[in-house]
Structure 1
Amino acid sequence: MAIGLLLDISGVLYNGTQVISGAKEAVVRCRANEIPIRFLTNTTRRPKRLIVERLNHFGFAVETNEVITPSQATCDWLNENGYSPHLLEHPDLTEDFDSVVSGNPIAVVVGDAGPFFDFENLNAAFRDLNQGAPFLALAANRVFRDVDGELSLDAGAFVHGLEYAAQVEAQVLGKPSTTFFRAAADSMKLPLAEVIMIGDDAENDIAGALKAGAGKTILVRTGKYRAGEEKRYSPPPSFVADDISEAVDLAMQMIAQ
């Protein structure tokens, strides 16, 4: 029986600067019913500190330890394996890597660098990869819903471009990594089989969670969702809901069974 929730953030709780209707109330219902929650994100243009601040600004009242980001997983990998990062990411994210020991051999770390994905930065990362540096991707999402409401390129296109050029395969440390989902469940002291993942990305949130061992998943028709997404990737979602409010209602029904 699933008793914990993993919630994607962007596209599920808010789009850009707009909170999705019913999202705050849905989280409040979970809190009132003492359902443990972790907020998972592949967002890598802003540090965890600002993600937490934004969620609290929007009224979600989250604790720092409830937000799980690819940066913290990557820092753990770097320190455990004795590497220092060559960061190809948005400069705002750099503070998330302050805990990494410097002076070790280099591992290339790629996030969503946005306008900093220029030839000079990509080529510098390629040259390190070509010399044998490990390749870590914070995430490899295809697209995201931008602040103007349109879809924009995410980091995945650049990750795969570097893979092609350097003839190496990146280790993805955010969603859909099994390690990432398991760490979120572990932080609630729950097995993944007792967790429900709610997200707007059928590939990374939904299929990724199910492959990792999540008990159930719910795909919401907000954020980056496009018609037919529920049939495009395998495994398909356990359920599809119009939004986070309906998804939480479905989750609570499952938890009550």
Structure 2
Amino acid sequence: MHLPVQLKLFIFDIDGTLHVDGQEIAGARALIQTLRDQNYAIRFMTNTTTKSQAMLVEQLENVGIQVEQNEILSASEASRTYLRDEQTNLGRKIKIWTVVSENIQADFSEFEQDQQHPDFVVIGDIGNGWNIDLLNRIFNCLNQGAKLIALHKNKFWQTREGLKVDIGLFVAGLEYVSNQTALIMGKPTIAFFQQVLASAECSAHQAILIGDDIDSDVGGAQRLEIFAALVKTGKYRASYHAESKIQPDLVLESVAELAQYLPEK
């Protein structure tokens, strides 16, 4: 197996690929340093919606991975870009209701907040904050014409205690009862991957994506013909992989194994 000949950019999923719940996956920091020493462009692409950009940087640095804020592209950042564009297109201030973690509420402070008659309801991870009353309030806003934005639609995620349900459960339910299709901002959305490529001024054929989610990471990358490697860490499950119609270009025991596929420089 050979990596793309014109390889310039390495795109890494973060949680489950480089660390699990703040605990480094062995060899991750060494690999990132090797890539920097060989002058490859690096981007970190995440659907995490519980941490601000600064918090994501801090978490990576806590496991020994040095990173610049502009190297991280998050689903919440993608949603802000979308909302700014919508505001420009409408020619007026838009009203939003952000059902997101307190850690990223400030990221949406440029928009007017309205929990009664919003133009958009933005859904992120709020942990144990979900309840039937909240879902009914969102449902009523959607029935009144608000559009549903989901920072992502992941099914589950990996913690030190095991897999946990992710917000895809609530997004799918809200789609069903409102007869809407949510606007997904994060992976596997093509626009999100295009934003990452543009930030590094690379084409799809000059990039490789490494992640633990066969649907959002591998499937999303391959929609743009980005070479995609699946790691057997984080949320990876052999049975789920075996049943998937998505076929990774490369399967690795962990991100550290990628080093053996690097071309000599």
Quick check: TM above 0.5?
yes
1:149-228 aligned at under 5 Å gives the runs 150-214=162-226, 216-228=227-239
Q: 1:80 aligns with which of 63, 82, 85?
A: 85
Provide the residue aligned with 1:113 in structure 2. Answer: 126
Judge which range, 131-140 or 240-249, deviates more.
240-249
CA distance in 2, matches of 1:189, 1:25: 25
TM superposition shift of 1:134: 1.2
Residue aligning to 2:21: 16
Residue 247 (structure 1) aligned to one of 250, 253, 258: 258
TM-score by length of structure 1 reads: 0.92
Q: CA deviation at 1:211?
A: 0.9
- Pairing 1:31-110 to 2, within 5 Å after superposition: 31-82=36-87, 83-100=94-111, 106-110=119-123
Verify the 8 A CA contact 2:118 2:141 in the aligned structure 1: no
Is the deviation greater in 37-46 or in 233-242? 233-242
User: Aligned equivalents of 1:151 and 1:102: distance in 2?
Assistant: 33
The CA deviation at 1:234 is 3.5
The 1:110–1:102 alpha-carbon spacing in structure 2 relative to 1, beyond 3 Å, is closer
CA distance in 1, matches of 2:137, 2:240: 36
Q: Distance in 2 between matches of 1:114 and 1:123?
A: 17
Instruction: Find 1:28's aligned residue among 25, 33, 36.
Output: 33
Aligned-residue Cα RMSD (Å) equals 1.8
* Partner secondary structure for residue 164 of structure 2: strand
* Unmatched segments (≥5 aa) in structure 1: none
Q: Share of identical aligned residues, percent?
A: 32
Q: Which amino acid aligns with 1:196?
A: I
- Residue 90 (structure 2) aligns with: none
**How far off is 1:114 after superposition?**
1.2
Whole-angstrom distance in 1 between the partners of 2:122 and 2:212? 25
Residue-by-residue CA offset, 1:27-63 (whole Å, 9 max, x unaligned):
0011011010100111111222211111112211100
Distance, in Å, in 2 between the alignment partners of 1:75 and 1:30 is 30
1:136 aligns with 2:149: yes
Larger Cα Rg: Structure 1 or Structure 2?
Answer: 2
- Name the counterpart of 2:91: none
Cα pair 2:214 2:246 within 8 Å, conserved: no
**In structure 2, C-alpha distance between the alignment counterparts of 1:208 and 1:164, rounded to whole Å:** 23
Alpha-carbon contact 1:177-1:212 (below 8 Å) kept? no
Distance 1:208 1:243 in 2: 20
Letter of the structure 1 residue corresponding to residue 55 of structure 2 = L
Over residues 154-192 of structure 1, what are the superposed CA-to-partner deviations in whole Å (9 max), with x where a residue is unaligned? 010000010011111001110000000110111000112
CA contact 1:198–1:247 (8 Å) conserved in 2: no
Deviations 1:196-227 (A, max 9, x none): 0000000100011101331x110000000001
- TM-score normalised according to structure 2 size: 0.90
